[in-house]
Copies of this chain bind each other. A is one copy, B any other.
Amino acid sequence: MELGFVGLGKMGRPMTEHLLKAGHRVHVHNRSRGVVDELAAQGAAPASSAAEVASRAEIVMTCLTNVQSVEDVYFGPSGLYSAARAGQLFVDHSTVAMETSRKCADGARAKGGEFLDAPVSGGPAGAAAATLTIMVGGNQAAFDRAMPIFQVLGKNIRLCGPTAAGTAVKLVNQLLVAINTVGVAEGLVFGLKAGADPQTVLEVVGTGFGGSRMLERNAPLAMDRNFKAGTPVSLLLKDLSLIGDLADQMGVKLDIGRCAERIFAAARDAGLGDDDMAGLVRQYEQAAGVEVRR
């Protein structure tokens, strides 16, 4: 099948590589050119704009970092919808505001095409291993059409409801990721000061009621002092801002979510914005005068 992929970053690049390996022809575009050339060497078809991708592909995926880049890629002068044709399917794997997902769906419909919001969870490691969780919003027919592609990229693939429902579920995921990440950071440092070895906390609390995916993910990264990998503080902060705005719009009380947002913001202000979210532990280590290690 002729596919397109725009946004070839830490997520989009390994996703595109899986599609190439699965035998699809993939027309690719990215703001910075280097990765396009590298994927072309693996058999991808380079395109000089999002519009060019849309002019060639039947199904186009996007995986972008924020609302503005999604708006640009979909609605910009050389964007996807400038070249969209009836019958095309657009799939956005980015995490954006629900209103952005709705706007993209409306834009596709205006061209006679279809749109699915399909944000993913699992990070670069999940993208590389093709084990992403994919949360989809849209209609059943479009979902069924995209399923063979989703199955190349992920494991737990779910139509969550109509347009923007995938984004809604992803935002809940991000809210819990952020809260649990701060909890793990506090818990590891509190425990260390109290005499609870981090590895023991991981192994024991991890099987108790305090267990979470963030404990399993972040505790080893903290113990290894590996804060380069994966999902940066600044990305979560972007999501927490989307979540806070939506909560305000809906009149939903977010106590611990706001608290997590303040702590992520403090970490960014302390210069940790580009570090993996597991690096949040350093905010607590510094105050307590200890360091989580193996």
Contact = CB atoms under 8 A, between A and B. Distances in A.
B122 A256 contact: no
A171 B194 contact: yes
Contacts of A194: 98, 168, 171-172, 246, 250
A183 B176 contact: yes
Interface residues of A, number: 74
Interface stretch (A23-31, A80-88, A156-164): A156-164
A191 B168 contact: yes
Interface string A153-185: 001101011101100110111111101101110
A252 B190 contact: yes
Contacts of A195: 98, 161-162, 164-165, 168
Interface in A272-287: 283-284, 287
A250 B161 CA distance: 48
Nearest to A132: B208
B158 A172 contact: no
A105 interface: no
Nearest to A260: B256
A36 to B, nearest CB: 29
A107 interface: no
B256 A204 contact: no
Nearest to A173: B210
Contact of A156 (B160, B165, B175, B207): B207
A220 interface: no
A193 B161 contact: no
B288 A252 contact: yes
B180 A179 contact: yes
Contact of A172 (B205, B251, B257, B259): B205
A212 B216 CA distance: 10
Interface in A118-170: 121-123, 133, 135, 155-156, 158, 160-162, 164-165, 168-169
30 contacts: A98-B195, A121-B210, A133-B208, A165-B196, A168-B195, A169-B191, A169-B201, A172-B187, A172-B190, A173-B204, A173-B208, A174-B210, A176-B187, A179-B180, A182-B255, A186-B257, A189-B253, A190-B243, A190-B246, A190-B247, A190-B252, A193-B250, A194-B246, A194-B250, A209-B213, A212-B214, A251-B287, A252-B284, A256-B256, A256-B259
Given A182-B256, A190-B257, A193-B252, 16 more contacts: A121-B205, A122-B209, A133-B207, A135-B204, A155-B207, A168-B191, A168-B196, A172-B188, A172-B194, A179-B179, A186-B256, A189-B253, A193-B251, A212-B214, A255-B262, A256-B260
4 smallest A-B Cβ distances: which pairs?
A: A176-B210, A121-B208, A212-B212, A179-B183
